[in-house]
Structure 1
Amino acid sequence: MSAAVQMCGVLLLAGVLHSFGVVAFAACLIPPIIWIVSQKQSAGPIDPKGRAVLITGCDMGFGHLLAKQLDQLGFRVFAGCLFPDGQGAQSLKKECSSELNILKLDVTLDEDVEKAKAFVEANLPAKGLWGLVSNAGISSWGEVEWKNIQDYQREADVNLWGSIRIAIAFIALLQQSKGRFIFMSSISAYIHSGGCSSYSITKCGIETFSDCLRIEMKKFGIKVSIIEPGNYTFATNILQVKTTEEVWNKLKDSLKSIYGREYIQLCIDSLHETINTSSRNPVDVTDTIVEALISPSPKIRYLVATLVERAIIFMCVHFPTWFTDVVFSYSKGQRKRNKLVASQINH
């Protein structure tokens, strides 16, 4: 290192110490030091042989692909499917080894969860249940006053309460193996824009629940990780976009006079544009889940997002709320929709 570079480093350090003080500077060093000390050296990744993983939501999307990957790695896979006789479940049976087991599993039903638990307990390999991947999820779109409370309950029953229900049921088995909880969240836990309230609520809940569970499970040696995918709507087919007529027919007459068909059509066009720009490889996400399962030191959070998505998250987390409100409320598409509503009201 040249003398000039060393001098710049000394001056920079001196500037920091002068600006913030020695105590404040030392305090900033505490978190990274604790993190470095806490990292344990390991010979390599966890060996899948003799270990089982339960995955919810394997009919399609991330869960379906992950079941195949874990089967190929040598895990015994318990693939929870809403439709065990459906196309997704049958393709898993056909393409995977005999170590993969299809379970009928609706995470909103206590009976299904109890039956799944009994089956898993009776068919565990030597090293027990190593991982629980809570992947089952649904998504819908619509402005708040277009929805009813049942719409919110339906989404929460699967995404949030379903994840909690399955976690409670399998805690004891993971305690025995000192295994892993993996929860599927989303960048929607950070980005709260119009039309996404029912989905964002559930993902915020998953983040909070996972953080609390991680602290509680630490004494048992259980690791808890959160996966935060960006826009993979096209790959997962999680969002079923309704037609203009379907949305229109559900609206109350009082709302029809406010919004109008053109407003709804613009919203649907925007949704299709979002879906069409999300043609990304879902393996990015499933590879990340595999890492969380087999890494000797898994991360607490795995953000699988583009640079643009990361920038938006940074804005939402660190910028003043009024600023993000301006960005979301006055984007090109939203401005046009706002004008339509204003013209409808003025009429």
Structure 2
Amino acid sequence: QMETRWRILAVGGFLFRLKTRTGSIIGSHFSLCVPAGCDTGFGNAAAKHLDSLGLDVFATVLDLTGDGARALRRSCSSRLTLLQVDITQPQQVQQALLDTKAKLGLRGLWGLVNNAGVCVNLGDAELSLMSNFRGCMEVNFFGTVSVTKSFLPLLRQAKGRIVNISSPAAPSSNNAYWEQQHQQLLQSLPPALMEEYGEDYITETKDLFQSFAEHANPDLSPVVDAIVHALLSPQPQARYYAGPGIGLMYFIHSYCPLSISNRFLQKLFPKAHI
């Protein structure tokens, strides 16, 4: 009975969060943001939108001569500053910090958006290379920690905010990427594991991830709007579910019995016949 009561309260809290997502926006004339990972996708779109709001934006990219950097130069104002940063390289993170300090002068930093992330695993852990896990952690975890630790003094000075972007999908949103991952996996897999799982299962898993990419919403505005609200709202939310069904998925995994969440995942992913 007590467990049921807590679940009812959880549902009420979940619905309350959905209703209180909107609100007024604080003045942005003093705000300074560093979206990390602006070559493509959410970071690129967020940098453009934040610049259009009149913010001084420091946008980090992997390649200052790349398509993403050129697009930002074309579409943004002179307030936007581009910084070349590989967040897995501490010396580049420190250089970005020094460049940001030099431009800010005595001002602090209002917002840090940790957007950079990769998805490099295809399927089961047993079928994946350890280098894939290490590469993922270097960018998604250690890179984020490195950037955040470095910029915390500037954020503390302005009593600013940190926005972390997380997704089970990451930026692997094209068929060519999954075909490449699929071929690399088939070539690196030991014969014994190939026999255990079977090529059909590996191909079915690849096809599933490709279907996720094909059905992904091309409209980035829900995520960009969530970033802006988190940075500028007088009452930011602790967590944002940007996109249809995301909040429901979180609710199922957080508040429903494990048997239900497991059944949900079993319906979603193919089953290996081993």
TM range (shorter): 0.7 to 0.9
User: In structure 1, how many angstroms separate the alpha carbons of the residues matched to 2:44 and 2:174?
Assistant: 12
- Give the one of 117, 139, 158 matched to 2:139: 158
User: Residue type of the partner of 1:62?
Assistant: F
Match of 2:112 in 1: 132
How many angstroms does 1:317 deviate by? Answer: 1.5
Please tell me whether residue 113 in structure 1 is matched to residue 93 in structure 2.
yes
How many angstroms does 1:121 deviate by? Answer: 0.2
How many angstroms does 1:252 deviate by? Answer: 1.2
Match of 1:325 in 2: 262
How many angstroms does 1:183 deviate by? Answer: 0.8
Aligned residue-pair number: 259
Identity, in percent, stands at 30
User: In structure 1, how many angstroms separate the alpha carbons of the residues matched to 2:253 and 2:175?
Assistant: 24
- Give the one of 61, 80, 85 matched to 1:100: 80
**SS state at 1:185 partner:** coil
User: Residue type of the partner of 1:88?
Assistant: G
**SS state at 2:119 partner:** coil
Match of 2:163 in 1: 182
**SS state at 2:155 partner:** helix
1:275–1:52 CA distance, 2 compared to 1 (3 A): same
Match of 1:147 in 2: 128
Match of 1:218 in 2: none
Say if 1:130 and 1:178, in contact at 8 Å, map to a contact too.
Answer: yes
Task: Quote the RMSD (CA, aligned, Å).
Answer: 3.0
How many angstroms does 1:312 deviate by? Answer: 3.1
How many angstroms does 1:109 deviate by? Answer: 0.9
**SS state at 2:65 partner:** coil
State TM-score, norm by structure 2: 0.84
How many angstroms does 1:143 deviate by? Answer: 1.1
User: In structure 2, how many angstroms separate the alpha carbons of the residues matched to 1:97 and 1:285?
Assistant: 22
User: Residue type of the partner of 1:185?
Assistant: S
User: In structure 2, how many angstroms separate the alpha carbons of the residues matched to 1:154 and 1:89?
Assistant: 24
How many angstroms does 1:81 deviate by? Answer: 0.4
User: In structure 1, how many angstroms separate the alpha carbons of the residues matched to 2:37 and 2:158?
Assistant: 23
1:120–1:316 CA distance, 2 compared to 1 (3 A): same
Unaligned ranges ≥5, structure 2: 14-22
Match of 1:4 in 2: none
Match of 2:16 in 1: none
Matches within 5 A, 1:333-344: 334=270, 337-338=271-272, 341-342=273-274
Per residue, is there more helix in 1 or in 2?
1
How many angstroms does 1:55 deviate by? Answer: 1.1
User: In structure 1, how many angstroms separate the alpha carbons of the residues matched to 2:28 and 2:45?
Assistant: 17
How many angstroms does 1:50 deviate by? Answer: 3.6
Match of 2:203 in 1: 265
User: In structure 1, how many angstroms separate the alpha carbons of the residues matched to 2:268 and 2:131?
Assistant: 32
1:179–1:242 CA distance, 2 compared to 1 (3 A): same
**SS state at 1:303 partner:** coil
Say if 1:180 and 1:293, in contact at 8 Å, map to a contact too.
Answer: yes
Please tell me whether residue 289 in structure 1 is matched to residue 269 in structure 2.
no
How many angstroms does 1:272 deviate by? Answer: 1.4
Larger CA deviation: 144-153 vs 158-167? 144-153
Please tell me whether residue 254 in structure 1 is matched to residue 188 in structure 2.
no
Please tell me whether residue 46 in structure 1 is matched to residue 22 in structure 2.
no
Deviation digits for residues 46-72 of structure 1 (CA, Å, limit 9, x no counterpart): 222243111110000000001100111
State TM-score, norm by structure 1: 0.67
1:47–1:302 CA distance, 2 compared to 1 (3 A): same
Deviation digits for residues 116-139 of structure 1 (CA, Å, limit 9, x no counterpart): 000000001775311111111111
Unaligned ranges ≥5, structure 1: 1-18, 33-41, 189-230, 343-347
How many angstroms does 1:332 deviate by? Answer: 7.5
Match of 2:38 in 1: 58
How many angstroms does 1:333 deviate by? Answer: 5.8
Matches within 5 A, 1:179-218: 179-186=160-167, 188=168
User: Residue type of the partner of 1:247?
Assistant: L
User: In structure 2, how many angstroms separate the alpha carbons of the residues matched to 1:92 and 1:71?
Assistant: 10
User: In structure 2, how many angstroms separate the alpha carbons of the residues matched to 1:158 and 1:152?
Assistant: 10
**SS state at 1:123 partner:** helix
1:158–1:117 CA distance, 2 compared to 1 (3 A): same
User: Which structure would you say has the larger RCO, counting Cα contacts within 8 Å and 6 or more residues apart?
Assistant: 2
1:232–1:117 CA distance, 2 compared to 1 (3 A): closer
Match of 1:278 in 2: 216
Say if 1:56 and 1:81, in contact at 8 Å, map to a contact too.
Answer: yes
User: In structure 1, how many angstroms separate the alpha carbons of the residues matched to 2:248 and 2:26?
Assistant: 33
User: In structure 2, how many angstroms separate the alpha carbons of the residues matched to 1:276 and 1:291?
Assistant: 28
